[in-house]
């Protein structure tokens, strides 16, 4: 069996090369299709994407990112500053906020694919395995979907994988690259604060082989990262940690694990099987390192995913590492050599779960792409229907982030996170309650008919019960605009008389 770092470029039969070439071509077509739809679509793919886009536009225009929880606007910038900063720079250069975020994610996805190719080749010494890794990752719907969405996850994965790549250069090739690994790990943490798996794995791996280097790595990550956090928090009078830590502690909800675990069990399971059967053989070689990283990534997923607001994006890092570890398992089991020799070993049967993995991802990729096109058309009609209520200078309270993005507005109150923080005692509801009682909002856009029975879903974007009752009394339903979310948007406007002077200037003043 080839060891890491050895070049055995001829490994694999001509037929295997042809098959992998076809898979690479399919992955390339899927990437082009998803990139094309992401560039074409003018509306949000997810609600968090729309929320981030409003915050990025405000950051680019006003220079403010992390807000006080005690006054308007009641919107939480839940992530670390790198993604916001890079995206805001693109907005200043003239790109639309949604397209700016997607451009960053698409570039990050391309970087992830390139890093995977290098890591697989570095650990296996096999170009065929490296191209197989790129093909498997490139057709993974989880990566295609989130890699074309303007959220922070794919950029954080790219930084973390780049940090591990620098560690691998040290481990396999003896390069002095651990300081770069530390710097990139800090960049990953300053993109999304839960991306601790890569630095934790690197520290443990170094601790087993080079304790002094492990201590230096930990000091660099914890020291530099901690100093940066405290410095930014001090400059912002505590608003940084208030947004990224304290306001981000959504209630735990074990049912939120259902969707990602179903995806793991149905779509990722074939690759998980390949990874599992080759784990023991891999641990006898330098290829054990990616498995340690995978273990930490999956543990972080289990600890952070079961909370209100979580989605399948919490599984992205695990999916990327399953591809890396799956390719390492194939090499450790001598799969490529055995198939080239025409062996009848059970190992050659691993082509079946690989094929199933490709089929399962193709099966969900096409409908997912079509759904985005259909939803864009529905959003276009909804935005047109809401336009008369968004074009004035009056104050708007909206649960619909996409409407605000299209109108060039920002959140005054982001209902879901606002309600959760009021219930947690972190926000005083008096200011919004007072403005609702005074009829200070010209229009209120909700996802529900207040005359109907309320949806009990804890993730439903609504205000507190008392504030919803005030809207029933002080505002009347004037328009229902169908759309892709829930039952569409219900527009409420104040009933009779003019509002008193608002306690806050309108966003367009």
Alpha helices in 254-413 (DSSP H): 258-263, 269-277, 279-282, 288-304, 316-332, 335-340, 351-390, 401-407
Q: Is the model's pLDDT at 506 over the cut of 70?
A: no
Q: pLDDT tens for residues 172-187?
A: 999 999 999 999 999 9
Higher pLDDT, 258 or 378: 378
Q: Is the model's pLDDT at 502 over the cut of 90?
A: no
Q: pLDDT tens for residues 55-108?
A: 999 999 999 999 999 999 999 999 999 999 999 999 999 999 999 999 999 999
SS3 state of residue 442:
strand
Round to whole Å and give the CA distance between 309 and 355: 33
The pair of structure tokens assigned to 26 is 């399919």
131-140 average pLDDT score:
97
**Three-state SS letters, 34-99:** HHHHHHHCCCCCCHHHHHHHHHHHHHHHHCCCCCCCCCCCECCCCCCHHHHHHHHHHHHCCCCHHH
Round to whole Å and give the CA distance between 273 and 491: 50
Q: Is the model's pLDDT at 6 over the cut of 60?
A: no
Angle of helix 97-124 relative to helix 14-40, nearest 10 degrees? 160
Q: Is the model's pLDDT at 1 over the cut of 80?
A: no
Question: pLDDT tier at 487 (50, 70, 90 boundaries)?
Answer: confident
Q: Is the model's pLDDT at 500 over the cut of 80?
A: no
Q: pLDDT tens for residues 198-251?
A: 999 999 999 999 999 999 999 999 999 999 999 999 999 999 999 999 998 888
* pLDDT, the chain, mean: 92
End-to-end CA distance of the chain: 70
Q: Considering just the CA atoms, what is the radius of gyration of the chain in Å?
A: 25
Q: Is the model's pLDDT at 158 over the cut of 90?
A: yes
Q: What is the pTM of this model?
A: 0.93
Q: Is the model's pLDDT at 352 over the cut of 50?
A: yes
* Cα 349 to Cα 119, 131, 323, 374, 502, distances in angstroms: 25, 20, 18, 39, 70
322-331 average pLDDT score:
97
Angle of helix 178-189 relative to helix 225-235, nearest 10 degrees? 30
């Amino acid at each position: 069996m080839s060891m890491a770092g050895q070049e055995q470029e001829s490994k694999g039969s001509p037929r295997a090369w042809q098959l992998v070439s076809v898979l690479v071509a399919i992955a390339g077509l899927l990437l082009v299709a998803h990139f094309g739809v992401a560039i074409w679509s003018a509306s949000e793919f997810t609600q968090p994407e729309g929320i981030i886009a409003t915050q990025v536009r405000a950051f680019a225009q006003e220079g403010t990112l992390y807000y006080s929880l005690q006054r308007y606007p009641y919107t939480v910038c839940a992530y670390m500053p790198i993604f916001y900063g890079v995206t805001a720079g693109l907005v200043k250069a003239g790109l639309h906020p949604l397209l700016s975020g997607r451009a960053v994610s698409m570039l990050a996805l391309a970087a992830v694919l390139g890093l995977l190719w290098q890591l697989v080749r570095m650990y296996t010494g096999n170009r065929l395995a490296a191209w197989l890794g790129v093909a498997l990752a490139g057709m993974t719907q989880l990566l295609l979907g989130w890699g074309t969405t303007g959220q922070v996850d794919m950029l954080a994965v790219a930084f973390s994988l780049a940090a591990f790549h620098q560690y691998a250069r040290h481990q396999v090739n003896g390069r002095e690259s651990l300081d770069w690994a530390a710097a990139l790990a800090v960049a990953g943490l300053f993109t999304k604060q839960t991306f601790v798996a890569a630095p934790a794995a690197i520290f443990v791996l170094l601790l087993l082989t080079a304790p002094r280097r492990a201590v230096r790595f930990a000091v660099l990550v914890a020291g530099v990262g901690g100093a940066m956090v405290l410095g930014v928090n001090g400059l912002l009078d505590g608003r940084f940690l208030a947004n990224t830590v304290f306001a981000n502690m959504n209630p735990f909800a074990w049912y939120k694990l259902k969707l990602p675990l179903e995806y793991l069990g149905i779509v990722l399971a074939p690759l998980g099987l390949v990874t599992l059967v080759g784990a023991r053989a891999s641990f006898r070689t330098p290829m054990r390192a990616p498995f340690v990283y995978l273990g930490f990534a999956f543990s972080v997923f289990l600890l952070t995913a079961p909370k209100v607001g979580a989605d399948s994006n919490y599984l992205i890092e695990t999916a990327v590492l399953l591809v890396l570890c799956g390719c390492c398992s194939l090499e450790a089991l001598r799969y490529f050599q055995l198939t080239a020799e025409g062996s009848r070993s059970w190992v050659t049967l691993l082509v079946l779960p690989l094929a199933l993995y490709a089929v399962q991802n193709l099966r969900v990729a096409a409908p997912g792409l079509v759904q985005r096109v259909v939803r864009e058309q529905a959003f276009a009609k909804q935005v047109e229907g809401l336009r008369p209520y968004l074009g004035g200078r009056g104050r708007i309270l909206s649960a619909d982030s996409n409407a605000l993005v299209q109108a060039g507005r920002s959140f005054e109150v982001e209902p879901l996170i606002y309600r959760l923080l009021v219930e947690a005692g972190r926000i005083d509801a008096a200011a919004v309650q007072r403005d609702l009682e005074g009829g200070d909002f010209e229009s209120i856009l909700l996802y529900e008919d207040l005359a109907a029975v309320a949806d009990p879903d804890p993730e439903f974007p609504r205000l507190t019960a008392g504030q919803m009752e005030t809207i029933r009394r002080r505002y009347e339903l004037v328009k229902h605009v169908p759309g892709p979310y829930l039952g569409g948007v219900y527009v409420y406007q104040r009933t009779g008389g003019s509002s008193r002077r608002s306690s806050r200037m309108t966003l367009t003043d």
